Amino acid sequence: MHTPSSPSVPISTAQDLLDRIDAEALQEIVTRLVRAGPLREVRYHLHRPIQGAAGYSGLTAIVSVQYVAVDGYFGWVDLLLKWPRQATAESRWYPALMAAGAPVPALYGRVRLRNPPPDASDEVLVLEFLPHIGHGVRDHLALAETLGRFHALDPGRIPDLPQVTARSAVAGWAEVWNRIPEHARAGELGPTIAALVASQSGAWERVLAALPGLATHADGLPRGVIHRDVSFQNSGWRAERRELLLFDIPQMAVGILAQEAQVLFPADQTPDPLVAERYLGSLREHGGLSLSSTALAEAVAVVRPLGALSFLWWATARSCDGRVDFTTDVEEGRRWYRQILLNNLESLITQLGR
């Protein structure tokens, strides 16, 4: 019979995670954070579940900490525990990002797991809890400010930050592009995508032929620190929605700024000059590149296909298996990603296959 601390017992719930954490180290972080002197009593509550996308590569938990200090002060503080099952650079990058004033949540500290599962990381990050998650069209000015701050970061201040290029991604794009018709013919992507593939054989070859030239052009555009996964579920606000932050940073790298900035200018909408002005102003004011609005618009036009190309592998895999982090219904997962994949395929054919 295995005890709860046995390394053969998996960690699959927030309670599992909390039970295996070094409790003394966590209490030290809480004591430092609340600034109420030595604590007489600390209790941890998991009454707030993670809403929306839960993530794929680890486990997160919102912990409400109830404390009483030895001199009678008492209160609550909320924390986010994040356990990446495989070690990432996040714990090394967060201090550098915080020192540089990057728009990211605060890392309060790190704690260890007792008897972590085999071949898994024993490190748990203790992060600032953001009470509001997500951004939308109404938040584009705030997102422009945040992206400008992020893209202005000095890559020399962040240890071991990788460089990514479009040219290095061409082989991966081509592999999945060639594989999509096989999945479609096997009935693994649904009838709508199967019909599209059958009707676009010529365009399919033209898209493939356009990839090397597109990558070379894109790699000549301005570069800087990019998050690489700016999305609804990886953004959040501090209290009262006054500051938009980006989190989930293990993919961060030096890359093409416009590839990320294009999120500010949806392809189906007229570009908002106020959003462009806010982004470019924020980029300059925080020590980044000085670009013109014309240069930004031209760069965004070049990189439009890159987002869809970079997402092809993931969208294809989830369209086949339906294994998503927002529902246990695999058919719902398949439907969701097949629609995204269809939109991306149609977009790429229009942009590169004509």
- DSSP state for residue 233 in the 8-state scheme: G
pLDDT tens, residue by residue, 220-249? 999 999 999 998 889 999 988 989 999 999
CATH superfamily of 137-352: Aminoglycoside phosphotransferase (APH), C-terminal lobe (3.90.1200.10)
Q: Decide: 236 and 132 in contact? Cβ < 8 Å.
A: yes
Bridge partners (DSSP) listed for residue 99: none
pLDDT at residue 53 in the model = 63
Domain boundaries in the chain? 14-129, 137-352
CATH class assigned to 14-129: alpha beta
State pLDDT tens for residues 175-188. 999 999 999 999 99
Query: CB neighbours of 311 closer than 8 A, spacing ≥ 6?
Result: 340, 344
Q: What is the pLDDT of residues 76-133, one digit of tens each?
A: 999 999 999 888 899 999 999 999 999 999 999 999 999 888 889 999 999 999 999 9
Q: What is the pTM of this model?
A: 0.89
DSSP, collapsed to helix, strand or coil, labels residue 245 as strand
What pLDDT, on the 0 to 100 scale, is given for residue 2?
45
Q: Is the pLDDT at 57 greater than 70, yes or no? A: no
- Give dist(CA 345, CA 11) in Å, integer: 38
Which residue is listed with tokens 């000095």? Answer: 154
Average pLDDT of the residues in 142-157: 97
Contact 183, 341 (CB under 8 A): no
Structural contact between residues 149 and 261, judged by C-beta atoms closer than 8 angstroms? no
* Residue 3: count of CB within 10 angstroms of its CB: 8
- The Cα–Cα gap between 263 and 256 comes to 13
Helical residues (DSSP H) of the chain, grouped into ranges: 14-20, 23-34, 90-99, 140-151, 170-185, 191-199, 201-219, 257-261, 273-285, 293-321, 330-352
User: Contacts by 37-44 with C-beta closer than 8 Å and gap 24+?
Assistant: 37/69, 37/70, 37/71, 37/73, 38/69, 38/70, 39/67, 39/68, 39/69, 39/70, 40/68, 40/69, 40/70, 41/66, 41/67, 41/68, 42/66, 42/67, 42/68, 43/67, 44/18
Task: Please state the φ and ψ torsions of residue 45, each to the nearest 5 degrees.
Answer: -125, 135
Distance CA 243, CA 237 (A): 5
User: Mapping DSSP to helix (H, G, I), strand (E, B) and coil, where does residue 74 land?
Assistant: strand
Mean pLDDT confidence for 270-290: 96
pLDDT of residue 267: 87
What are phi and psi for residue 46, nearest 5 degrees? -110, 45
Q: Which residues contact 205 (CB under 8 A, 6 or more apart)?
A: none
d(CA 324, CA 354): 33
* Single-letter residue type at 350: T
For position 1, what pLDDT does the model report?
Answer: 37
The pair phi, psi for residue 225, each rounded to 5°, is -75, 125
Partners of 225 in the β-ladder: 254
